[in-house]
Amino acid sequence: MRLIVPSPAKVNLSLWVKGKRPDGYHELITVMHTINLCDTLFFLPSDRFELTIEGSESLPLNKSNLIVKAAQVFKEATGIKPQVKVKLEKVIPVGAGLGGGSSNAAATLKGLNSIYGNPLSQEELTQLAAQLGSDVPFFIKGGLAIAYGRGEKLKHYPPASFKLLLVYPGFPCSTKEVYEKMPPLKREITVDEAEKRIISPLITGKLKELEEAMENDLERSRAECVERVKEVKEVLKSCGLKPLMSGSGSSVFALITDENCDLTPLKIRRWWYKLLNAI
């Protein structure tokens, strides 16, 4: 028994906050797409559940790790005690709004389900994923989707094709803090409207129209790290791009609609950046 499961990052092509809910979460509508920046999970034989991580020193190996939590909810749902060694090769920056931890949790559920003969359907896996975090259900299928509710309700679309520049400026943002420091906001937007504004131009390849429509309400947060993200955006604008913060930050991305952007200002600042594709 050996299994390799890729665990891709995502970007939010838009995110609108509809208001704060009684349970403390925010009601939102967001459009997400997976991208070809991937962690990898290796499932190897073992006589117990073990986790090792390569490529990040900061992540915990204990019960607070989403991979360990995913193994636990899998066990509770199926009665199967996972006996595997999971080796995580970390590539996706942490605290970057790229969904790395959520993606790892979804990849763990999918990997364990496959190893133990698929006791859970894709729908059951998606429901289980919601216990682990608002973004985790999206990563069970990945591709292109509108997520709503607190992010756990999904409407999927066929994956689109676009190139993007992704910049991680080297500092993380805390999702919790970014949401906590949001000014009160009550957007009236619906899933149908998000489809019109974002999905339609995306699937018809009208990237300029898409760029104009893209917005992220979390950029209004008064969290300090979001203030710092604004500087990153300014630099990308000076390269002729239309940047947007991904999710709760700190990474920033821009669609590449022509190949002529000058990335020298990013090189000078020694920021981590990559040219990537939607997958």
For residue 105, which amino acid is it?
A: A
Nearer to ligand C5P, 154 or 160 (CB): 154
Interaction between residue 153 and ligand C5P (CB under 6 A): no
Active-site residue identified among 18, 39, 69, 135: 135
Give the x-and-dash track for 11-40 against ligand C5P (CB under 6 A). Answer: --------------xx-x------------
CA–CA separation, 112 and 125 (whole Å): 11
10 is catalytic: yes
Interaction between residue 10 and ligand C5P (CB under 6 A): no
Of the candidate spans 107-115, 173-181, 193-201, 255-263, the one that interacts with ligand C5P by CB under 6 A turns out to be 173-181
Residues in the chain, overall count: 279
Helices 100-115, 66-78: crossing angle, 10 deg rounding:
40
Four-residue CA torsion sign, 98, 138, 101, 8: negative
CB of 133 to ligand C5P, least distance (A): 4
- Give the Å distances, CA to CA, from 18 to 77, 82, 226: 32, 39, 19
Of the candidate spans 127-135, 204-212, 257-265, 271-279, the one that interacts with ligand C5P by CB under 6 A turns out to be 127-135
CB of 272 to ligand C5P, least distance (A): 23
CB of 32 to ligand C5P, least distance (A): 13
192 is catalytic: no
Nearer to ligand C5P, 224 or 231 (CB): 224
Interaction between residue 151 and ligand C5P (CB under 6 A): yes
CA–CA separation, 162 and 263 (whole Å): 19
Q: Which residues of 219-232 are buried (b: 16+ CB within 10 A; e: fewer)?
A: bebebebbeebeeb
Nearer to ligand C5P, 103 or 113 (CB): 103
Nearer to ligand C5P, 21 or 230 (CB): 21
Contacts 24+ apart (CB under 8 A), 64-69: 66/101, 66/102, 66/104, 66/105, 66/108, 66/132, 66/133, 66/136, 67/41, 67/104, 67/105, 67/108, 69/105, 69/132
Which residue among 8, 133, 137, 172 contacts ligand C5P (CB under 6 A)? Answer: 133
- Give the Å distances, CA to CA, from 191 to 50, 146, 275: 40, 7, 29
Of the candidate spans 44-52, 118-126, 165-173, 175-183, the one that interacts with ligand C5P by CB under 6 A turns out to be 175-183
Interaction between residue 176 and ligand C5P (CB under 6 A): yes
* Closest residue to ligand C5P: CB criterion: 134
Residues 6 or more apart whose Cβ sits within 8 Å of residue 270? none
Q: Please identify every residue annotated as catalytic.
A: 10, 135
Q: Rule CB under 6 A: which residues touch ligand C5P?
A: 25-26, 28, 133-135, 150-151, 175-176, 179
